[in-house]
């Protein structure tokens, strides 16, 4: 496997960063998770745009252009001969000293990993997830905007650990007011009375690329209303359907929350339609990996 690292494609074993890199020392950096399907990279332009927006928000100057980043992603896929893959694109503040001052980091570190990923086993997509509500609250937006996809994921990791300790594959995170924000790595949706509802970004949810695609598919394909509204775990318990979305997870149904069975305990019909529509879309659109 070859890894893109600061302009070079190097063997996995030689893809190393300095112990003084502020991405490692302080989580000072941004990243994107991207998927390639059937020889095309899905929503690559949107992911790179979000990467640059996150970097701008934390005053991190990326040393490459958007077009150069795109070509680096595609070349890494070509070298590894991957047609279907998960892509991790990371930009850190770079190597500095042991202090917080980012001015001591003279050049960002950029690396790209392309590999296979299976976030959940097939039976979870067939039968649905059983998730819990974490006691770990989502970071407040005033401290760290959820729009910034940063390397500092300890908030999410702690909630994930709680889920693991309760033998659950995922955990729902609430904001400090007790409203549902998102899960540790996915956005969350519910259907109620033929209306699709998801938390607004200001409540603590990342504006996920897959989230936006699913909202659009619901409008165009299912012809159903979509709303961004705050809600509590209670509204999830009484929902007609619940599902999660994410680049790695794609669209996956939830059939039990905190021991409460959602509706009849089976993936809902609208969720199944969205899973199918999303799968069809990912395999028909995207930036081609092969050179023209």
pLDDT tens digits, 153-168: 999 999 999 999 999 9
Residue-level pLDDT at 202: 94
pTM, entire model: 0.95
Domain boundaries, the chain: 2-115, 122-282
Amino acid 258: pLDDT: 98
Q: What pLDDT sits at residue 117?
A: 85
Q: Is 118 a residue whose pLDDT tops 90? A: no
pLDDT of residue 292: 55
Q: Which helix (H) or strand (E) holds 33?
A: strand 29-37
Q: Which helix (H) or strand (E) holds 48?
A: helix 44-57
CA distance 19 to 170: 31
Give the model confidence (pLDDT) of 79-110 as tens digits: 999 999 999 999 999 999 999 999 999 999 99
- Overall fold of domain 2-115: D-amino Acid Aminotransferase; Chain A, domain 1 (3.30.470)
- What percentage of the chain reaches a pLDDT higher than 70? 100
**Residue 291: its pLDDT value, please?**
74
The pLDDT tens digits of the residues spanning 220-244 come to: 999 999 999 999 999 999 999 999 9
* CATH number given to 122-282: 3.20.10.10
d(CA 94, CA 24): 9
Report pLDDT for 140: 93
- Give 199-208 pLDDT, tens digit per residue: 999 999 999 9
Pairing mode, if any, of strands 195-198 and 85-92? unpaired
Question: Residue 253: which residues within 8 A CB-CB, separation 6 or more?
Answer: 125, 128, 129, 241, 242, 243, 267, 268, 271, 272, 275
For residue 178, the 8-state DSSP code is: S
Per residue in 213-245, is it b (16+ CB within 10 Å) or e — as a string?
A: bbbebbeeebeeebeeebbeeebbbebbbbbbb
pLDDT (average), residues 244-270: 97
Decide if 8 contacts 113 (C-beta within 8 A). no
Residue 205's alpha-carbon distances to 12, 83, 147, 185, 221, in angstroms, are 33, 30, 8, 10, 24
Segment 20-52, tens digit of pLDDT: 999 999 999 999 999 999 999 999 999 999 999
Tell me the average pLDDT of the chain. 97
Instruction: Give mean pLDDT, residues 127-137.
Output: 98
Backbone φ, ψ for residue 238 (5° rounding):
-100, 10
Count of H-run helices and E-run strands, the chain? 8, 16
The catalytic site residues sit at 149
């Amino acid at each position: 496997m070859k890894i893109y690292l600061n302009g070079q494609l190097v063997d996995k074993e030689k893809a190393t960063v300095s112990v003084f890199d502020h991405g490692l020392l302080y989580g000072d950096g941004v990243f994107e998770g991207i998927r390639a399907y059937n020889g095309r990279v899905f929503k690559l332009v949107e992911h790179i745009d979000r990467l640059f927006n996150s970097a701008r928000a934390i005053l991190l100057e990326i040393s490459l252009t958007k077009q150069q980043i795109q070509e680096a992603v595609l070349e890494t896929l070509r070298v590894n001969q991957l047609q279907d893959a998960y892509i991790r694109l990371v930009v850190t503040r770079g190597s500095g000293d042991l202090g917080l001052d980012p001015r001591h980091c003279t050049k960002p570190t950029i690396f790209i990993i392309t590999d296979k990923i299976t976030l959940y086993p097939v039976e979870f997509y067939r039968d649905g997830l059983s998730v819990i509500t974490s006691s770990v609250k989502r970071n407040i937006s005033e401290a760290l905007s959820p729009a910034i996809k940063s390397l500092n994921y300890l908030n999410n990791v702690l909630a994930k650990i709680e889920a693991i300790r309760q033998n659950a594959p995922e955990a729902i995170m609430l904001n400090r007011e007790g409203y549902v924000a998102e899960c540790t790595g996915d956005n969350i949706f519910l259907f109620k009375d033929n209306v699709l509802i998801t938390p607004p970004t200001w409540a603590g949810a990342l504006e996920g690329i897959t989230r936006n695609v699913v909202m659009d598919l619901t409008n165009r394909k299912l012809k159903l209303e979509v709303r961004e509204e705050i809600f509590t775990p209670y509204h999830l318990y009484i929902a007609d359907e619940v599902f999660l979305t994410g680049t790695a997870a794609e669209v996956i149904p939830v059939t039990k929350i905190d021991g409460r069975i959602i509706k009849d305990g089976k993936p809902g019909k609208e969720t199944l339609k969205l899973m199918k529509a999303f799968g069809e879309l990912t395999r028909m659109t995207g930036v081609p990996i092969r050179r023209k």
